[in-house]
Structure 1
Amino acid sequence: MGSEGPAAVTIHVTGFKKFHGVSENPTETIVNKLKEYMKKNGLPKGLTLGSCSILETAGQGSLAPLYQTLQSAISEKDSQSSNSGRIIWLHFGVNSGASRFAIEHQAINEATFRCPDEMGWKPQKVPIIPADGGISRIRETSLPVEEITKALAKKGFEVMTSDDAGRFVCNYVYYHSLRFAEQNMITSLFVHVPLFLTIDEETQMQFVASLLEVLAALSGWICAA
């Protein structure tokens, strides 16, 4: 269970609602159940589970609520001056064609949606943030993705490191989150999960709990980064 005093790391989590071709998004279920699951199983020492939010599977049209969600963690940290720990934004999205989990190393400044998002937007080769330059611009997480992947694989999970989060809403949100994280000296990570038909719900909940454990174990590295 958590230790006394301020936690070394606070993790805020997001998932997505349904979208074209995925009528039930596993990340919505995972994130909605996560607090109760961790309450039952116990949080790793030094870790606090912050907000658990569900985002619309939409790009441009959902920016306001996305930034409200991201900013809420900063506002909360600022109001708790005694808490000098670090913040991680942990985003989950589904890859319906995947057979294993994927820890995403980076996001690309390109929105090319294969289908319209839930607000009807279907950009093609559009820079996500024009001020960042062209669509080849990349932003990377500051977390040690390879080490995280190896630690989870040792726990028995089918997991890989990925350098391609696609060009749909997952990549769109991750790019914005990585930029926000850099500007506010916090950390962001995106993880793709398969459908529950491929890896069942209980295994996925165990995976997320193990991921939190791995991130908590990195708290010294995160605080020094």
Structure 2
Amino acid sequence: MQTVLLTGFEPFDNDLVNPSWEAARELDGVQVSEGVQIVARCLPCAFATAGEYLAQLISELKPAMVIATGLAPGRSEISIERVAININDARIPDNLGQQPIDTAVVVDGPAAYFSTLPIKAIVKALRDAGFAAAVSQTAGTFVCNQVFYLLQHRLAGAGVRSGFIHVPSSPPAGQPSLVDGLRLGVSTAWLTQADVVETGGQVS
């Protein structure tokens, strides 16, 4: 059985729940296709421990694909992230009270890493299914971006596709559930070998 590692985050900033984990946990054990199963795990929202725990999970599970997810307060759509940058610049303290400002995620690491998921194919599949979705050009500079960067840094050249999806606090009224959206995103990422070519850029 091959494994797709799907992570969400614990609540932060005084929230009681984090939709990224609430959705991901519902998919733990779900089969993406024959012989491929999702394993969902919750990451701490802390600069000092999130990346370390993710690395431990990758070592233990040896996943064939990794998709990390997190909450993007204020966004109204599922955001498929394109790029992780080598900077920590926390607007608020994390759950351990740390608030790094203008520090490198990896000292002397590359300025950025791109997702290796078929990001536009995922967006297209989500939109076709009635979800609000878009390619996002920034994962922010909080723990989500740090985890995204460390994920791509660790798996660079390993042949394991990986990336990050931001979810909204609550889906717009009338669209399917976030659980269904993540399930579709994971299955599209797994089954799509070559990304689609269509517009997704932004003017500003």
TM-score range, shorter chain: 0.7 to 0.9
How many pairs does the alignment contain? 195
The structure-2 alpha-carbon separation of the partners of 1:66 and 1:139, relative to structure 1 and needing over 3 Å to count, comes to: same
Which stretch of structure 1 is more off in the superposition, 12-21 or 106-115? 12-21
Residue 52 of structure 1 aligns to a residue whose secondary structure is strand
Instruction: Name stretches of at least 5 consecutive residues in structure 1 with no aligned partner.
Output: 1-5, 78-86
8 Å Cα contact 2:8-2:69 kept in structure 1: yes
The structure-2 alpha-carbon separation of the partners of 1:102 and 1:197, relative to structure 1 and needing over 3 Å to count, comes to: closer
For residue 76 of structure 2, the aligned residue among 70, 90, 99 is 99
Using the size of structure 2 for normalisation, the TM-score is 0.85
RMSD: 2.4
Write the distance in 2 (CA, Å) between the matches of 1:51 and 1:206: 16
8 Å Cα contact 1:13-1:31 kept in structure 2: yes
Write the distance in 1 (CA, Å) between the matches of 2:47 and 2:149: 11
The structure-2 alpha-carbon separation of the partners of 1:211 and 1:197, relative to structure 1 and needing over 3 Å to count, comes to: closer
**Computing the radius of gyration over CA atoms, which structure comes out larger, 1 or 2?**
1
Q: Find the counterpart in structure 2 of residue 168 from structure 1.
A: 142
Choose between structure 1 and 2: higher helix proportion: 1
Q: Find the counterpart in structure 1 of residue 202 from structure 2.
A: none
Using the size of structure 1 for normalisation, the TM-score is 0.78
8 Å Cα contact 1:22-1:96 kept in structure 2: no
Following superposition, the deviation at residue 22 of structure 1 comes to 2.7
8 Å Cα contact 2:67-2:165 kept in structure 1: yes
Structure 1 moving runs of 4+ over 2 Å = 43-47, 60-64, 196-202
Residue 98 of structure 1 aligns to a residue whose secondary structure is coil
1:88 maps onto 2:76 in alignment: no
Write the distance in 1 (CA, Å) between the matches of 2:32 and 2:24: 17
Residue 93 of structure 1 aligns to a residue whose secondary structure is strand
1:153 maps onto 2:127 in alignment: yes
The structure-2 alpha-carbon separation of the partners of 1:201 and 1:28, relative to structure 1 and needing over 3 Å to count, comes to: farther
8 Å Cα contact 1:102-1:161 kept in structure 2: yes
Q: Find the counterpart in structure 2 of residue 11 from structure 1.
A: 4
The structure-2 alpha-carbon separation of the partners of 1:199 and 1:181, relative to structure 1 and needing over 3 Å to count, comes to: farther
8 Å Cα contact 2:121-2:188 kept in structure 1: no
For residue 64 of structure 1, the aligned residue among 44, 52, 55 is 52
**Cα displacement string for residues 186-211 of structure 1 (whole angstroms, at most 9, x for unaligned residues):** 12110000113756996101111211
Give, as a single letter, the amino acid of the residue that structure 2 aligns with 1:103: I
Q: Find the counterpart in structure 1 of residue 168 from structure 2.
A: 194
**Cα displacement string for residues 3-33 of structure 1 (whole angstroms, at most 9, x for unaligned residues):** xxx65xx311100001114331011211222
1:53 maps onto 2:41 in alignment: yes
Choose between structure 1 and 2: higher strand proportion: 2
